[in-house]
Each structure stands twice: as C-alpha cells, then as structure tokens.
Amino acid sequence: MSLADTARKLDALDPIAHCRDEFDLDPDVVYLNGNSLGALPRAVAPRLAEVVGQQWGRRLIRGWGEGWWGAPERLGDRLAPLVGSAPGQVVVGDSTSVNLFKALVAAIRLNPGRPELLVDAATFPTDGYIAASVARLTGVRVRPVPMPEAAAEVNEHTAVLLANHVDFRSGVLHDMGAITEAAHRAGALVVWDLCHSVGALPVELDAHQVDLAVGCTYKFLNGGPGAPAFLYVPQRFQDAFDQPLSGWCGHAEPFAMTPEYTPGAGVTRGRTGTPDILSMLALDAALDVWDKTSIAEVRAKGLRLTDFFLSCVDELLGDRVTVRTPRDTGRGNHVALSVPDAGQVMKELIAREVIGDYRPPDVLRFGFAPLYVRYADALTAVEVIAGVI
C-alpha cells in the first residue's frame, strides 16, 4: 500500500476525526506547530464576543460576582482530569514562569535544611532562569543533571528536583512515576513542568504522588497566545504551601483590605493578582472540545500519527535527516529531525505553508496535535521537506 493510500485509510478510520471540525483551520496550511501555539477552536470567537459585549459591556463590574472571580479555580477543575488530579488542586492564572517561581520557592520552604536544587540540564531556558533566580533568593545552589540520570543524582542534599515531563527539543518522555519515587526515597520533592505533555498524553499527578506541577495552556490545550498557565498543589501540601507572591487574590478575605496577608483556603492560595478574564474565558471555550473526546484517545492517535510521520521520513528522506525523537512510546507529540542549515530549511517550509519550528543548532520540530492534525498532513509535510532539502 502506498503512503498516500495508508494516509487515506488511517484518516477514514480515525475515531477522533470529528474533533477537527471544532477548529478554524486554513485548508491550504499544514500546521505542525501545535506544540508552540495551538490552533483556534471555533468556540472561542463567539464566546469572547459574548464576554465582551454582554458580560463586560452590559454587566460591567457585576461580572466579578457573576462568575469571573471564581474562574481560576473553576478552570482548574476543568483541567484537573487532563493532569490526573482530583478537584480542588489546580488553579489557573499567571504565566508558567510566574507559577514555576511560586512552586520552586514553596517547595524549598516545604523541605528546609537542604542546600541543593537539581535542574534538568536540557531544560527549557525559562525554567533554568527561574531556578537560578530562586537559588539567589533562597540560598540554595543549582546543580544541572541530565534527566536520564536524575533519579540516581537525587541525594540527601537535594531539596527539590525540577523536571520536564517531555523534553522541549527532542520530544523524549520522562518517567514521572519512577523519577518522583526516587526523589521521595531520598527525601526530596519534585516540581514537574507539564508544558509539552498536558493535552498531548495522560498525566497522572495524584497517582504518582507528585509534589507540585506547573504547565501552560496555549500549546496542546489551544487556549490562545499568552493564555494563562496553571499550578497544581495537592491537598496534602495546601495548608503549608507558602508561596512568595502573596498577592491580594490569594488572600483569605481579599476585599477586607487588611494590611496583613492571610492565605486563602486550599489551592486558592496559589493565586496572586487579578485574573485575566478575557484570556481565561477564551481558554474555557477552548476546553469544550474535551467534552467530545478523551486524553486516552488523543494519546493513541498521537502515537499512530507520529509513527506514520516517521515511516514517511524513513521512506522519503532516508539518511538525509537524523531522527532525534525516540521511536518507541517514550515520546511526546512532537518529532525532532536534525538537518544541516535547519533554520533556513524551516523558513522555506513555512514559505510553502508547512509550519513547524526550528531550535538551534540543527533541529526541525514538528508538533502533532491529534485533535486537528490528519495523517494526510503528516505525509504532505514530509513530501515538502523532501522537496526543500
């Protein structure tokens, strides 16, 4: 069977093909950058029009008492099943960087007397920047370690390990359960960055007894540019969760306007400033698609889709590229290929309406969002890559 015939057959049998209809997609573009910015869900524009025209335009400040104020916790509960969390443990707001700062400082305060913060040596740069800042403020030292060696590197000096669930360059999926268990055996806590896994594959925070986690919503969750991030604080840590950005929205009585800070109950204490309501309610609309499928179905298609893409790469590109992403199930939903002059290659692909992204020094990244990417898109992308290189 030809690759084209295989793509048509797989698309015809796709059990979540109906989800593609939930997105406003340019039919002339092959969009393989959902690992950086998700596509626009059709539900978002009318929802925002209602929020702006009616809630803000007519209800005005009354909106805060009519659903706006509780949006961070309500959206957190909508996200909870996608990260394997019980209700009441996820709060939405701020950026990933801000939430990571909160989580790392709080984790160090939860585990005092240990002088070391371990960081994934291949971490996304902002995680490293935030970790360095946290170290300067708290007096711990940062020690970078390769993620495959992290479980063995945690020791009695380690307060916290900052770990990425999926590597942002290669797409390697790290073993959350094994790494968290190893850290706990050594008396350390783990903060997980879920930016490249949430909405792409099952995440089991409660099952693995994860300590704290953060993630963004504008990639595989399609929340839109700059959509608010989220913070996970399990119930067992909520009373002791002492985060450094004690803003008024995390106060037990925010409208009492008292000079002293008293943290709110539960995960509410993870809040800081006034919620960005327009972005939050755009995310709320974007999450509606998850009522039509499950993360298990998305993961199953994601593996099949990337397997098919790799088959196309093998047949049409051969040794002209090097695959940097694992071929087994130990990967997320993006595939990394190394080619000479990768930056220029990606510019030419984008000019031909195949949109991925480039990471120095030589990596082409292609993100496969199963909710809207087809097998035919995977084949078209490889055909265009072959023409370019």
Which positions are annotated as active-site residues? 124, 193, 218-219, 365
Is residue 11 a known part of a binding site?
no
Is residue 97 a known part of a binding site?
yes
Ramachandran quadrant class, 123 (left: phi over 0; alpha: psi -120 to 50; beta: rest): beta
Is residue 157 a known part of a binding site?
no
Residue at token pair 């037990």: 252
Measured over the CA atoms of residue 341, residue 343, residue 344 and residue 346, the dihedral's sign is: positive
Is residue 168 a known part of a binding site?
no
Is residue 248 a known part of a binding site?
yes
Decide: 158 and 317 in contact? Cβ < 8 Å.
no
Query: What does 191-229 look like in DSSP terms, one character per residue?
Result: EEE-TTTTTTS---TTTTT--EEEE-SSSTT---TT---
Question: Whole-angstrom Cα distance, residue 107 to residue 246?
Answer: 15
Decide: 317 and 382 in contact? Cβ < 8 Å.
yes
Decide: 250 and 271 in contact? Cβ < 8 Å.
yes
Is 313 exposed, middle or buried (CB count within 10 Å of its CB: 0-12, 13-18, 19+)? buried
Is residue 218 a known part of a binding site?
yes
- At 385, the amino acid letter reads I
DSSP E strand boundaries for the chain: 30-31, 90-92, 116-120, 141-145, 158-164, 189-193, 212-215, 230-232, 322-323, 334-338, 354-355, 357-359, 363-367
Is residue 138 a known part of a binding site?
no
Question: Whole-angstrom Cα distance, residue 301 to residue 16?
Answer: 8
Task: Provide the pairing of β-strand 116-120 with 158-164.
Answer: parallel
* Known binding positions for pyridoxal 5'-phosphate: 96-97, 124-127, 193, 196, 218, 248, 274
Annotated binding site: which residue ranges? Answer: 96-97, 124-127, 193, 196, 218, 248, 274
